Amino acid sequence: MKPNFLIILALTPIFMAVLFCREALALQTHGGAEGVVVHQFAHFQYLGALGYLLWDIRRSSFSGIGWIYLQRFCWLMMIWNGIAFIGHFAQVALPDGSISTEDGYLSALLLLPFSFGKWVYYITALDHLLCTPALFFLFLAMRSFYRSLDVPKKEQT
Amino acid sequence: MTGLSLFPAILLDIIGSAANIILSFLAWRYARLLAKRQPDNFVWGYLHYVTFAIAAFATSRAVGHLVKQFLFMADRADIWAAISAYSGGFNSLFMISVAAVMIFYHKGVQAYEALEHEAGKLKTANLDLAGAARQLRDLNQNLEQKVEERTEELSQSEKKFRHLFSASKDMVFFSDADNRVVDMNDSGFEMLGYSREETSALQLADIFVDPTYIETFAKRLTEDGYIKDLNVDLACKDGKVISVLLSATAIIGEKGEILGSEVIAKDLTRLKMMMEQLASSEKMASVGQIAAGVAHEINTPLGIILGYSQLLMDDVQEDSDAYQSLQVIERQTKASRKIVADLLKFSRQSGSTREEVDLNEILADVVAVTEHTLGLSNIAIHRQFANGLPRVDGDPEKLRQVFVNLINNAHHAMQDQGGGELLLRTRINSGDVMVEIRDSGHGIPEKHLAKIFDPFFTTKPVGQGTGLGLSVSYGIIHENGGTIEVESPVHDQDQGPIPGTLFRIRLPPSGTGKQQQMENRSGIPA
């Protein structure tokens, strides 16, 4: 199991890089938007993996609160992936000069007038409202699994 | 307002990133503990890898965000521009890794399920095996319990029959096909006088008085398989013969051959003696009847003979031969009348008085008279007179005569052997007064025991006894409503049979014996 996992881990970025190369030269260059594209694909892959995990958990009919927390993690993280995916596009599509940092970084403003793209950018910038609760549910899930190991003993006592 | 503040987004980014690091590591920590607690559980192992990858991704991303925010706040966007590609690259790398680990989960779960399935089958097989083992164990335990119960039942049964065998008052023994006694109970040894050690050498031929009975015994066992109520005489070790009623069952082998026999023998010696005594009593009653008739018939001519002989004596000279002849006639006639009188006493035709008498006093009187004579013959007298002995109804003179007769007999029995001991004992037994007169003489042969109360039966030389002493005593005791029994040799409870003779007289106490007396009167005719 472990060698396969490591092989996949190692080969996935290479596979992705090869898949999305633009010029068939001996030594390929990776300029421009390649980084964003790869990152977006990674989000997409992550979303797909979470969806698969969610489907498999539900299919397996695992019982217990830990699995419910894990499902919530999957849902939130999938949504986050979607938000982040959109947010990256929104960030790329944001026109130059849309943000003013004249009064300092902490006083940065998303300048008027507001367009749909700007709203999307602003909302997606708050993505921690999804990924942090998602990780909180992941923590709850793991803790529940761990505590569930002692339940039979408590019942016995 | 010229625009919307991005401060909330910046602040949320900083706080969320820090929280993400903490939460992801906490999740990984619990997943690691799970994997450690149950290292064989694939699911926990999988979650451990997933949470580890998520923690790595969260850290990479959060660190990148924090660095970015702090560089921007420090107005060093140029640095961020230089490193942002690396941060983004790491983020992508770890995100892809997280996705890869999650996808890998499917194969892992499949393998796990396959393992679980196999383990389930093994578990089922194990459960079946455990069930079979449990059934086998239960069966074993039941078997052990049943064997234990059966053994206990057998033990109880063996104990019961062993007790029946050993505690039986009848003789019980087993013999083999060669008529050898292989086992015998204690009553059997007691009856025959052998010890248990002598059993191995004991043959039926040794104990059957009549050898022809062995043939009968074997023949009936072979023909019928059992013997019921065979009356045989058995020889004791000391030569004494006992009469037994024998029942036996053949022990048959698998091929139908006789392996031996189980024998039960009931001692009938005492019963036989009692029957003989009963027959003797009946005979005595007949003899008494005849004696009474004869005595009456003879008494009259004897009186006439005596009267006429005395009259004639007056008519002849005293120094003449005729006078002397008449004296002989008179003397012999008187002797004859004495015999007739004794016969009448035996048949209770003679007159008697009845009063309440103390047997201790009568015995003491008799001993006082005979003690001197007995002393001359080296006979020691032992008196064991019970205090408070009830009085009995009877003729004191006749009872005195009974005791004189018995003591004289004892004297004669011990005189020949140069002395002995005479025990006189009175006691109360079952409400009756019991007098026992026991001597240590030569005893009475068994063949004579049934005849000693017969009139004219005597073992003394001719002319030394009329044979009427015990007959008269018998008649007197019966006249007084009592019984007289003889035992020779004497069966002592402690010492067993000892030589000598014991006369046991039982008389009812005063006032209670009249009914019985009347009944006895009707037994021996007047």
Q: Is the separation of the CB atoms in B461 and B416 below 8 Å? A: no
pLDDT attached to residue A157: 39
Residue type, position A7, single letter = I
Closest to B353 measured CA to CA, from B400, B397, B292: B397
In this structure, what token pair is assigned to residue B196?
């248990």
Distance from CA of B152 to the nearest CA of A (A): 42
pLDDT at position B522, please?
43
Residue with tokens 């072979």: B222
A29-38, A43-52, A105-114, range with the lowest pLDDT: A29-38
Selected residues 424-483 of chain B with any CB under 8 Å from a CB in chain A: none
Q: Indicate the residue of A12, A109, A149 with minimum beta-carbon distance to B2.
A: A109
Minimum CA–CA partner of A69 in chain B: B27
Mean pLDDT computed over every residue of chain B? 84
Q: Does A38 contact chain B (CB < 8 Å)?
A: yes
At A130 the pLDDT is: 94
Q: In chain A, which residues have their Cβ closer than 8 Å to the Cβ of B30? A: 139, 142-143, 145-146
Q: How far is CA B498 from the centre of its chain?
A: 29
Structure tokens at B175: 């013999």
Residue from A142, A148, A151 to probe the interface with B (highest B Cβ count within 10 Å): A142
Which member of B19, B88, B103 has the closest CB to residue A132? B19
CB contact under 8 A, A135 and B102: no
CA distance A24 to A138: 42
Nearest to B30 among A109, A131, A142 (CB): A142
Minimal CA separation from B45 to chain A, in Å: 11
User: Tokens 């086998």 identify what position?
Assistant: B136
Average pLDDT, chain A: 83
Contacts of A136 in chain B (CB under 8 A): 19, 23
Q: Are B126 and A35 in contact (CB under 8 A)?
A: no
Do the Cβ atoms of B100 and A9 come within 8 Å?
yes
Interchain contact A94–B (C-beta under 8 A): no
Whether A123 has its CB under 8 Å from any CB of chain B: the answer is: no
Whether A111 sits inside 8 A of B58 (CB atoms) is no
Contact residues, B window 27-86, toward A, CB-based 8 Å cutoff = 27-31, 33-34, 37-38, 44, 47, 49, 51, 54, 58, 72-73, 75, 85
Per-residue pLDDT at B347: 65
pLDDT score, position B281? 67
Q: Take residue B523 and report the two structure tokens written for it.
A: 């037994």
Q: What is the mean pLDDT of residues A128-136?
A: 95
Which segments in chain B show pLDDT lower than 70? 1, 105-110, 112, 199, 277, 280-281, 284, 345-352, 462-466, 512-526
Give B453: exposed, middle or buried? Use CB within 10 Å, 0-12, 13-18, 19+: buried
Higher pLDDT, A135 or B350: A135
Interchain pair A122, B9: CB under 8 A: yes
The answer to whether B366 and B381 have CB atoms below 8 angstroms apart is: no
Rounded to an integer, what distance in angstroms lies between the CA atom of residue B516 and that of residue B493?
Answer: 30
CA distances for B34 relative to B51, B56, B428, angstroms = 12, 19, 101
Would an 8 Å CB–CB cutoff place B93 in contact with chain A? Answer: yes
Pairing mode, strands B181-184 and B226-235:
unpaired
CA–CA dist A91, A39 (Å, integer): 13
User: The pTM is what?
Assistant: 0.41
Q: How far off is chain B from A24, nearest CA to CA, in Å? A: 22
B120 touches A at CB < 8 Å: no
Instruction: Output the CA–CA distances (angstroms, integers) from residue B199 to B191, B206, B236, B493, in the order listed.
Output: 14, 11, 13, 25
CA distance B259 to B243: 26
- Neighbouring CB atoms inside 10 A of B10's CB total 20
Which residues in chain B are closer than 8 Å to A60, comparing Cβ atoms? 109
Q: Which residue has the tokens 């007159």?
A: B351
Task: Inform me whether the C-beta atom of residue A29 falls under 8 Å from chain B C-beta atoms.
Answer: no
The CA distance from B106 to B46, in Å, is 10
Task: Chain A: give the shortest CA distance to residue B156, in Å.
Answer: 47
The pair phi, psi for residue B96, each rounded to 5°, is: -60, -40
Alpha carbons B76 and B66: distance in angstroms, whole number: 13
User: Measured at the alpha carbon of residue B299, what is the angle toward residues B297 and B301, in degrees to the nearest 5?
Assistant: 80
